[in-house]
Structure 1
Amino acid sequence: MNLRIFLFLCIVWLVVIAAGCSRRVVDSEQVSREEKIVIKFSHVVAENTPKGLAAQRFANLVKERTGGRVEVQVFPNSVLYKDGEEIQALQAGAVQMIAPATSKLSLLYPQWQVFDLPYAFADEEAVHRAMESYLGKKLYDGLKANNLVPLSFWGSGFKQMTNSVRPLIKPEDFQGLTFRVMINSQVLKRQFEKLGAHPVEGTFDNLYRVLESRAVDGEENTLSNIFSKNFYKVQPYLTISNHGYMGYVVMTNSEFWSSLPEDVRNILESTLQEVTEWEHEQALQINRDCLKQIISSGMVQVHYQTEDEKREWVRALRPLYEEFREIIGEDLIDYLEESRQE
């Protein structure tokens, strides 16, 4: 090799090394690359949703409280894994944290479909009480049996109905329409069948394209998802029904969790507890703000379900409780009924 070329390459290499060293100084990293614990946190929704904001807040607080020893890398919008892929990726160790919707857990543990039962919970407080009681313990135990570690329960709020054909006021208005439903939940499929509609399973990352192309007529979702993913731009009819709750279980796998030092686990747990309380408050406010923006767009006709209309929907969907009593469990169904009476 020509001496001049060799010397030039050496200089370039030294410049690259120096740049890398200076970057580490600017970043003020307090631990070496070998000491750092990296946690990949994958989820499927947008960054400006309750879950997306909470995941990023969690990452920032963990970095601060561990002095950079633990780095939580958040991957939103299905950039790593789609619906149906997340849980397998977590079990395989490809990611270390996920926060799937409860419906998507029913393939492992069908009892999670309790959250898909229509009008199961009166409000957010009823949901949180349930997760802190027998119901939550029973559901979490099912995940632990599959080598998963549930860490916290986040929520995106209650779901509403949207479609591109007509207002949904009475149960018969669903007749003949097609609706996208989340994967793994038989309850959601039967919900739309009971209303005379045709359910079509689909992943969240592809939902806008499916709605825009009119491959399906409608969907159910929280207001934050409807707004952040622009569903309202291709779904001119929105019914505020609050018929189902969209909850997320923040989880890791048992092998990874047990490999962490105890002090790190303590920081992660305490930080998650703090972020969870913040996330619950944010979800309420974000959904209110998103509804205002949807209305102000002028693109959507919004119908607020009345109490009489709600009773009609409840009557039409009530048979699902008995239909899934054995699958979900009599104890959990009874819990819901007793809580509703209280």
Structure 2
Amino acid sequence: MKKRSGLSCLVVLASMMALAGCGNSASNAAADGKSSQGASPAEAAYPKMEIKLSHVAADNTPKGQAALKFKEIVESKSGGNIKVKVFPSGQLYGDNDEIEALQANNVQIIAPSAAKLSGFDKSFEIFDLPFMFKDEESLRRFEDGEGGKKLLSKLESKGIEGLSFWPNGFKHITNKKVAIKSPDDLKGLKIRTHGGLIINEVYEKLGAASTKIAFNEVYQALQLGTIDGQENSLVNIDTQKYEEVQNNLTLTNHARSEYVVVANKKWWDSLDAKTQSLLDEAMKEATEVGRDLVQKLELESLEKIKKNGKMKVTELTDQEREAFKQAVQPVFDKWAAEMDPEVINLAKEASK
């Protein structure tokens, strides 16, 4: 009996030593930041995948910088498991085919102008309603609030997941014929727009002809004289070098060409909750980067344009701006009546 007890003690002792060895191995692995399979916590949490993000603006615009920040955050926090390939300046898809490419899942994320989505719901042209939002703060209150959420939810039945709104600054008009100071100055001009129904009618009301041309083809159209002018944010006017082919810039501040960041819904729904959460958080941070850059870069672009002196810059007085607002009020009233009244009311509340 005593011999058996001694043997039993030896077995127990050996077992304890083995467990201690396992414990030390586990502790060492934890200290190294590795799991028992040799993967870091981030690597273990996220599946390996590649996300294609396509947009039509330059890298040095708020939109371009937001896209790069999204890439940086996702790749860093996923431990490199999730790769985001960003294709700026229409390198992969242009204005005319990016939505179709998204629905076919040839690209997972795009950031088209909101008006490009008006074929799904007219409410997406709310940013084209002339003088709808008075400033950046009212716009952000709408986008981050119930109004923005309701607007994005309208895409779900179309196979599209709405992720965020990215800023593009308020729009202004350039042309090569006249310094625009009154609505009458636009008569007879041919202006490029993104093709939204409202903005086209705005120019029609002002006596100008509007035409839809892909963003990455606008410079050549201006150079060739196919069009007389165009409307855009100051950053886009600057980075696209329109001053080389335009003589006049009028700071009308008449509408926004806000971007809507959207994903292929079937692809999005296939992601696990942890991955969706990572992408959501990265998108929020990227959106803030874009917003912070808008005011800074818009001011810098305006100063650069003025300094170069190739375009005459016309700043409207309050009275002149009011004349434009009154001239296009019938367009506002007509199209606001075609949109979701709840979305319109939420936008008006945000602008108070």
Same fold (TM over 0.5): yes
* Deviation for aligned residue 1:336: 4.3
Of 145, 152, 165 in structure 1, the residue corresponding to residue 177 of structure 2 is 165
The AA in structure 2 aligned to 1:179 is I
Other-structure match for 1:59:
71
Of 135, 147, 167 in structure 1, the residue corresponding to residue 159 of structure 2 is 147
Question: Which secondary structure state, in structure 2, belongs to the residue aligned with residue 245 of structure 1?
Answer: coil
Instruction: Give the TM-score of the pair, scaled to structure 2.
Output: 0.84
Q: How far does the alpha carbon of each residue in 1:93-126 deviate from its partner, in whole angstroms, 9 at most, with x for none?
A: 0000001111111112111111101111000111
Matched, 1:278 2:304: no
* Deviation for aligned residue 1:337: 4.5
d(CA) in 2 for partners of 1:215, 1:323 = 30
The AA in structure 1 aligned to 2:74 is V
Of 251, 274, 285 in structure 2, the residue corresponding to residue 263 of structure 1 is 274
* Deviation for aligned residue 1:335: 4.2
* Deviation for aligned residue 1:308: 0.4
Q: How far does the alpha carbon of each residue in 1:129-173 deviate from its partner, in whole angstroms, 9 at most, with x for none?
A: 112334212211211121211111110111111100011100000
The answer to whether the Cα contact below 8 Å between 1:62 and 1:267 also exists between their aligned partners in 2 is yes
Of 31, 35, 49 in structure 1, the residue corresponding to residue 61 of structure 2 is 49
Other-structure match for 1:300:
311
Where do residues 20-39 of structure 1 align in structure 2 (5 Å cutoff)?
A: 36-39=48-51
The answer to whether the Cα contact below 8 Å between 1:84 and 1:104 also exists between their aligned partners in 2 is no
Instruction: Give the TM-score of the pair, scaled to structure 1.
Output: 0.87
Other-structure match for 1:9:
none
* Deviation for aligned residue 1:59: 0.6
CA gap 1:36/1:296 in 2 versus in 1, 3 angstroms: same
The answer to whether the Cα contact below 8 Å between 1:194 and 1:317 also exists between their aligned partners in 2 is yes
Matched, 1:137 2:149: yes
CA gap 1:331/1:263 in 2 versus in 1, 3 angstroms: closer
* Deviation for aligned residue 1:323: 1.6
Q: Which runs of 4+ in 1 moved over 6 A?
A: none
d(CA) in 1 for partners of 2:348, 2:67 = 33
Matched, 1:232 2:243: yes
Question: Which secondary structure state, in structure 2, belongs to the residue aligned with residue 328 of structure 1?
Answer: coil
Other-structure match for 2:94:
82
Q: How far does the alpha carbon of each residue in 1:2-21 deviate from its partner, in whole angstroms, 9 at most, with x for none?
A: xxxxxxxxxxxxxxxxxxxx
Matched, 1:197 2:208: yes
Q: What is the percentage of aligned positions where both structures have the same residue?
A: 35
The AA in structure 2 aligned to 1:61 is I
CA gap 1:66/1:102 in 2 versus in 1, 3 angstroms: same
CA gap 1:309/1:175 in 2 versus in 1, 3 angstroms: same
Question: Which secondary structure state, in structure 2, belongs to the residue aligned with residue 243 of structure 1?
Answer: coil
d(CA) in 1 for partners of 2:308, 2:64 = 23
Worse-matched range after superposition: 128-137 or 39-48: 128-137
Of 338, 344, 349 in structure 2, the residue corresponding to residue 327 of structure 1 is 338
The AA in structure 2 aligned to 1:78 is G
The AA in structure 2 aligned to 1:225 is N
Other-structure match for 1:181:
193
Worse-matched range after superposition: 330-339 or 279-288: 330-339
Q: How far does the alpha carbon of each residue in 1:234-276 deviate from its partner, in whole angstroms, 9 at most, with x for none?
A: 1110011111112111111111111112222111111111121
d(CA) in 1 for partners of 2:99, 2:84 = 18
Other-structure match for 2:252:
241
The answer to whether the Cα contact below 8 Å between 2:65 and 2:289 also exists between their aligned partners in 1 is no
Number of residues of Structure 1 aligned to a counterpart in Structure 2: 310
Of 109, 112, 118 in structure 2, the residue corresponding to residue 100 of structure 1 is 112
d(CA) in 2 for partners of 1:122, 1:232 = 27
Q: How far does the alpha carbon of each residue in 1:30-87 deviate from its partner, in whole angstroms, 9 at most, with x for none?
A: 979xx52100000011111100111011111211111110000000111111112111
Of 286, 311, 316 in structure 1, the residue corresponding to residue 322 of structure 2 is 311
d(CA) in 2 for partners of 1:115, 1:270 = 25
Question: Which secondary structure state, in structure 2, belongs to the residue aligned with residue 190 of structure 1?
Answer: helix
Question: Which secondary structure state, in structure 2, belongs to the residue aligned with residue 283 of structure 1?
Answer: helix
Where do residues 108-147 of structure 1 align in structure 2 (5 Å cutoff)?
A: 108-147=120-159
Question: Which secondary structure state, in structure 2, belongs to the residue aligned with residue 113 of structure 1?
Answer: helix
The AA in structure 2 aligned to 1:273 is K
- Stretches of structure 2 that go unaligned for 5 or more consecutive residues are 1-41
CA gap 1:333/1:64 in 2 versus in 1, 3 angstroms: closer
d(CA) in 2 for partners of 1:228, 1:339 = 31
The answer to whether the Cα contact below 8 Å between 1:239 and 1:305 also exists between their aligned partners in 2 is yes
Question: Which secondary structure state, in structure 2, belongs to the residue aligned with residue 145 of structure 1?
Answer: helix
Other-structure match for 1:22:
none
The answer to whether the Cα contact below 8 Å between 2:64 and 2:88 also exists between their aligned partners in 1 is yes
d(CA) in 1 for partners of 2:244, 2:191 = 17
The AA in structure 1 aligned to 2:133 is F
* Deviation for aligned residue 1:231: 1.1
